[in-house]
Every structure is written in C-alpha cells, then in structure tokens.
Amino acid sequence: MPTQPKINRLSITQRAFGTLSNGESATLFTLSNTHGVRVKISNYGGIIVTLETLDKNAVSSDIVLGYDDIKAYENDPYYLGAIIGRYAGRIDQGLLSIDDKTYQLDINNNDNQLHGGHEALNKKLWQATTESSAEKVSLILQHTSPDGDNGFPGNVAFKVKYSLNCRNELTVEYFATTDKTTVINLTQHSYFNLAGHKSGDIYQHQIQINADYFLPMNENIYPTGEIRAVLNSAHDFSQLSALGKNINSNDEQVIIAKGYDNYWLSNDNVISGEIFAARAFEPNSGRQLTMYSAQSCLILYTANYIDGSQTGKEDCVYQQHSAFCFEPQNLATRINGANINNTIVRPDQPFYSQTRFVFETV
C-alpha cells in the first residue's frame, strides 16, 4: 500500500503554571509542530521554559536551561529564558541622558542598572492571547510599563509575539510604542545547550557569527570605545569554531568576562536580512541552531556567572559554561560602536524588531 504523506500540523495549548508570591496565577503555553519541535512559554516574563527538538537519531531533548516551577523563576538571578527590557545590558551608574535631560534609573547590579532594573519585564505577568492558522501558531504577550518604571521615561506599551511554524522556525517579534521619548533595547535570553539542558559544558559546541568586528570591554564589563577586528583573535567566529578552543584561554577579554560576553557588530548582509546573524552546531547530537536578526549587534554569552547555586529542571545543578545565549540588540553599530542614542524611541516612531531561530540537524 502507498505510504500516506505526513500531515503538517500545528497546535497551541495552555495549562496552569503555579501561583506567584503576589497571588497572581501564571500560565504555561505549549506550541508544537509535527516535526519534533515543542516550545513551552510562560506569560510570566515571556519565559521560554522548555524547547524540545529532535537530534540526528530522532531522539528528543530539551535544549534550554530552566526550572520546573514558577517560584524558582521568581527567584532566578540569571534571566533564564526571559524577555529582557526595557533595556538589555548595563547602564553605568543608572544615569540615562536623552535630549539633554538626565534620568536616574533604578540600580540593581553593583553600580549600574542591569537588564531594566528591579522587577523589569522578565518579572512581569503579561496578558496573553493566542492565534492559530495553517501556517503558524502564535502566543501574543502584552504589558504596559508606566512612566517612571525603574526610572525610565514614558508609558510604553510592549507586545511580544512568539510564533512556531512547520519549518522548525521559532520567531520572536517585539513591538513597542511610547508617549514620551525613551530608550528601548529588547532581547530574548534563552540559555541553549544543543546536547540537552543537563549535558554539562558547551565546549564542543561550534559557533559562527557573521561579524567582522567586536567591542572590547573594560573590567567593569562596559565597552571601552574601541571597535576591534575579530581576525586572528579569540573572538573570531567568522567560521564555525569550537567554544572550548579559547573559552578558558589567557585572552584578556575572555579573562574579564570569565568566558564570552561581548558585542559583535553584525555585517551589512545580516542587517539587510540576506544571511544569518549567528549559528551554533553541536556535533554529537547533530543539532544546529541558526539565528536571523536585523538588529545591528548581538551578544554571545556563555553562562559565565552560573555557579552551581541553582537547581534547574529535572534536579540538574547548572554550572559555569553549561549553555550559551545569542542576544541580538540595537545598542551598537559598526559606525558608532556602543551608543545609547541608537536605542532611542520617540512617540512618532514605534519600535519593532524580529528574531528568528531555525532548528535542524546536520
């Protein structure tokens, strides 16, 4: 008898995900296709809790770090899987200058504001709706951040849309509008281990970044102002290169960050959407992750500050260098380097960006 063709089906379901300390109830949404991709996302922080894909032997594994319950996410210091904002990154002394006006932002990390301050977007319960079609299933999350939230100006309406299709593409779209000139720099902070979330270090992972330049950091993890070529450096990922090659080397930048934690400045063909921004390949599983983003830069972060103090899913104790993050942003360009003016959004200029993660086996 003839073989019946496999039908491409998509689904989105939801279930309760526990009660937050303030009494609010969180929800967990599951987006699935028939090619082995299943993504579980909470409306708390927009967190990707689980991301399951098949390896080269058709064995499924969860490839993102995370926790089993919502209370662990409330206490999570690492931003595992979360939407980051209003401002991804560090702002020195929490001092923000826009159009000759200075704002004192909330300080939450030594002498700086990190990732939007206390109770930022990663700690908010977003309003959630879903959409389904033959082409994709989507989770739409919305949250309004009030004027003065963590010190930032403007009432800002945020929307994040997660979509999964039958081509094993997970797309994250970011929308924002403001009634006052402000800064917006959003990213997604999933920690990937393509061998499986409890598989140990990522030294065998091979990384490729489509960028000819990166930004060196000083000892306080701020860009020095230099724009440096990646060629012949520990930060040269112009071709697939194993993370373990230099991640524990005596390179000054690697020592400062305890691994990788720099801005790479995307080449023009990335920003135009013609080619991928970054790629990761894990040879044992055969899994490959390719990321597309028109943002002007990205951070490769290698879980340098995870220290074994947190117990994750399936009682796994996560350690340093047990995952990597691809964090596309718009802070830095090849012309100006890191400049907060690149992140300014005005009432007549809505914010939009898109990141697409493509999962396959090689």
Torsions phi, psi of 281, nearest 5?
-135, 135
Instruction: Write down the pLDDT at residue 84.
Output: 98
CA distances from 52 to 154, 304, 339, 346 (A): 38, 24, 37, 38
CA dihedral 258, 53, 330, 320 (to 10 degrees): -10
Q: Which of 115, 143, 189, 205 is catalytic?
A: 189
pTM of the model: 0.96
Q: Is 314 a catalytic residue?
A: no
Share of the chain above pLDDT 70, in %: 98
The position carrying tokens 């890191």 is 338
Q: Which of 52, 169, 282, 327 is catalytic?
A: 327
Q: Which amino acid is at 85?
A: G
Mean pLDDT calculated for residue range 263-292: 96
- For 247, residues 6+ apart whose C-beta sits below 8 A from its C-beta are 203, 254, 259, 260, 302, 321
Q: Which CATH architecture has domain 10-361?
A: Distorted Sandwich (2.70)
Instruction: Write down the pLDDT at residue 6.
Output: 57
What is the biggest distance separating any 2 CA atoms in the chain, rounded to whole angstroms?
75
Q: What is the 3-state secondary structure (H, E, C) of the chain?
A: CCCCCCCCCEEEEEEEEEECCCCCEEEEEEEEECCCCEEEEECECCCEEEEEEECCCCCEEECECCCCCHHHHHCCCCCCCEEECCECCEEECCEEEECCEEEECCCCECCEEECCCCCCHHHCECEEEEEECCCEEEEEEEEEECCCHHHCCCCEEEEEEEEEECCCEEEEEEEEEECCCEECECEEECCECCCCCCCCCCCCCEEEECEEEEECECCCCCECCCCEECCCCCCCCCCCEEHHHCCCCCCHHHHHHCCCEEEEEECHHHHCCCCCCEEEEECCCCEEEEEEECCCEEEEECCCCCCCCCECHHHCECCCCCCEEEEEECCEECCCEECHHHHEECCCCCEEEEEEEEEEEC
Instruction: Write down the pLDDT at residue 8.
Output: 72
Torsions phi, psi of 172, nearest 5?
-120, 120
Mean pLDDT calculated for residue range 234-257: 97
The position carrying tokens 């990597």 is 324
Spatial separation of the C-alpha atoms in residues 21 and 43, rounded to whole Å: 15
Mean pLDDT calculated for residue range 291-300: 97
Q: Is 219 a catalytic residue?
A: no
Whether pLDDT at 169 is above 60: yes
Residues 87 and 103 sit within 8 Å (Cβ to Cβ): no
What average pLDDT does the structure give for the chain? 96
The position carrying tokens 């972060």 is 301
Residues 317 and 226 sit within 8 Å (Cβ to Cβ): no
Query: Using one digit for the tens of pLDDT, what is the confidence trace for 74-116?
Result: 999 999 999 999 999 999 999 999 999 999 999 999 899 999 9
Query: Using one digit for the tens of pLDDT, what is the confidence trace for 111-123?
Result: 999 999 999 999 9
Mean pLDDT calculated for residue range 309-338: 96
Q: Which amino acid is at 89?
A: G
> In which band, very low, low, confident or very high, does the pLDDT at 238 lie, cut at 50, 70 and 90?
very high
Mean pLDDT calculated for residue range 177-188: 98
Q: Which amino acid is at 150?
A: N
Spans of all domains in the chain: 10-361
> In which band, very low, low, confident or very high, does the pLDDT at 273 lie, cut at 50, 70 and 90?
confident
Spatial separation of the C-alpha atoms in residues 259 and 303, rounded to whole Å: 8
CA distances from 342 to 49, 65, 93, 204, 297 (A): 31, 31, 19, 35, 11
